[in-house]
Amino acid sequence: MLRFEFDDVRLTVLPTGSLRLDGGAMFGVVPKPLWEREHKADDRNRILLAMNVLLVEDGDRKILIDTGAGEKWDAKERDIFALETSPAEDWLKPAGLTPPDIDMVVCSHLHFDHAGGNTVRKNGSDAVAAFPNAVYVMQQGELELARSGNERTRASYMAENYEPLLSDKQVRLVNGDTALTRCIRLRLAPGHTPHMQVPLVRAGGGTFAYLADLVPTASHVRAPYIMGYDLEPLATLATKKALLAEAARNDWRLVFEHDPVLPVGRLVEEKGRLKAAAVEPE
Ligand SMILES: [Zn+2]
C-alpha cells in the first residue's frame, strides 16, 4: 500500500491482485527481445501484471477508481490468466475501510481486469454490487460498446460486471470530459477503447493521473509501446503523446494500474526521451 497524504485529500494505491497476459499482446509491435528486458515471460509467454486501484479520500467522501478483476472466476479462467485475487474486504483492510464505506466507484473502462470487482456473487446468488452504497461512474459510450460487443471486443467484457448495477439504478453515466467532484476530473482518453477515461485528481497543489490502460505499465511510457488489445492504436498514440507531454510540463504523478514494480511515477527526461521514475510518499 502506497499512501500520499495532503491537507485536502488522501490518496492510497491498493494492490487488488495480479494476473498474467500474453507478453506479445501487451506490447503490440514491439519485438520480444526488447520488452523482455523489463518483463520476463513465463513458459506460456505471459507476463506478470498488477491490478492497482486508487482510493481517494476527500473529507467524508471515499472514492475508488477501478476495482480489479474481482472474485467471480472459475478454476479454468483462473488458470488461463494466472489470476490471484482476494475479496475487497481484504484489500481495503490496510486502508481501514470496508466495502460499504465506499460511496463512489469510478470505472476507467469496463474490461474485466478493471471492473470485475464491481460486483460479487454471495452464496451462489446472481452478481450484486460489491460496494452497496456506491454510485458507479462510467462513460456512456463505454457502456454501449460493452453491451454491443462484436467478435473483436467481446472477450474483454462480462455483463455481470455492470448489468446488475444498471438494474439497481446505481450508475451515473457521463459523456466525455467531466468535473466529477471537488478534486476529480474525468478526461476522455480514446485509444484502448474509444471511451476509456483517465481520472485526474487534484491533491496538494499537484495532479495525480490514473492512466488505466492508456499507459498500463511504466514501460508503456515509450510512444510505440501500445498494446495489441487496443481497439484504436493510433488514437492511443495521439492521446498518450498529448497527455504525457502535459504530465511532463506539470510534473504530474502517474499511477500505473498494471505495473507490478512501479505503481506511481513521474516523468523524467533521459537522452531526450521521457521515462518514468518511481515516486514514494514524502
Ligand atoms: Zn482494458
Report pLDDT digits (tens) over 226-243.
Answer: 999 999 999 999 999 999
Distance 12 CA to ligand 1 centre (A): 21
Q: Does residue 61 surpass a pLDDT of 80? A: yes
pLDDT at res. 111: 98
Distance 271 CA to ligand 1 centre (A): 31
pLDDT at 93 over 90: yes
Domain for residue 93, yes or no?
A: yes
Question: 249: Cβ–Cβ under 8 A, 6 or more apart, which residues?
Answer: none
Residues 6 or more apart in contact with residue 118 via CB below 8 angstroms: 67, 70, 105, 107, 129, 130, 131, 136, 161, 162, 165
90 C-alpha to ligand 1 centroid (Å): 24
Averaged pLDDT of the chain: 96
CA of 86 to the centre of ligand 1 (A): 20
Residue range 51-78: mean pLDDT, rounded: 97
Alpha helix positions (H), 81-212: 88-92, 112-115, 140-147, 163-167
How far is the centre of ligand 1, averaged over its atoms, from the C-alpha of 109 (Å)?
7
Distance 139 CA to ligand 1 centre (A): 14
Instruction: Tell me the mean pLDDT in the region 98-124.
Output: 96
> How high is the pLDDT of residue 244?
98
Strand partners, 145: none
Question: 59: CA distance to ligand 1 center in Å?
Answer: 30
- Taking only the tens place, the pLDDT of each residue in 159-178 is 999 999 997 779 999 999 99
Q: Which residue has the cell 487496443?
A: 230
- Whole-angstrom CA distances from 210 to 78, 214, 256 are 26, 9, 7
The predicted structure's pLDDT at residue 160: 96
Q: Does the residue 279 lie in any domain?
A: no
Dist. CA 118 → ligand 1 center (Å)? 15
pLDDT at 116: 98
| Domain span at 135 | 2-273
pLDDT band for 123, please (50, 70, 90 cuts).
confident
In-domain check, residue 61: yes
Non-local CB neighbours of 261 within 8 Å, separated by 6+ positions: none
Q: Residue 114 C-alpha to ligand 1 middle, in angstroms?
A: 7
Q: Which three cell numbers stand for residue 165?
A: 448495477
Decide if 280 is inside a domain. no
| Centroid of ligand 1 to alpha carbon of 262 (angstroms) | 19
- Examine the pLDDT at 128 and tell me if it is beyond 80: yes
Residue 222 forms part of a structural domain: yes
Give pLDDT, residue 251.
Answer: 97
Pairing outcome for strands 264-270 and 253-255: antiparallel
**Which residues contact residue 224 at a Cβ distance below 8 angstroms, ignoring those fewer than 6 apart?**
28, 29, 30, 237
pTM of the predicted structure, to 2 decimals: 0.97
CA 98–ligand 1 middle distance (angstroms): 26
User: Ligand 1 mean position to 113 CA, how many Å?
Assistant: 7
* Model pLDDT for residues 197-222, shown as the tens digit of each residue: 999 999 999 999 999 999 999 999 99
Determine the distance separating the centroid of ligand 1 and the alpha carbon of 207, expressed in angstroms: 23
Q: Does the pLDDT value for residue 1 go beyond 90?
A: no
Q: Quickly state the pLDDT bin for 282 (edges 50, 70, 90).
A: confident
Residue percentage of the chain with pLDDT more than 70 = 100
Q: Which pLDDT does position 119 carry in this prediction?
A: 98
Residue 110 has pLDDT above 90, yes or no: yes
Amino acid found at 44: R
Query: Is 227 within 8 Å of 49 (Cβ atoms)?
Result: no
* Residue 281 counted as domain residue: no
> Does 104 have pLDDT greater than 90?
yes
The pLDDT score that the predictor gives to residue 124 is 78
Higher pLDDT, 155 or 78: 78
Number of domains, the chain: 1
Which CATH number covers residue 175?
Answer: 3.60.15.10
Residue 37, in any domain of the structure: yes
Flag whether 219 is in a domain.
yes
Query: How remote is the CA of residue 7 from the centroid of ligand 1, in Å?
Result: 33
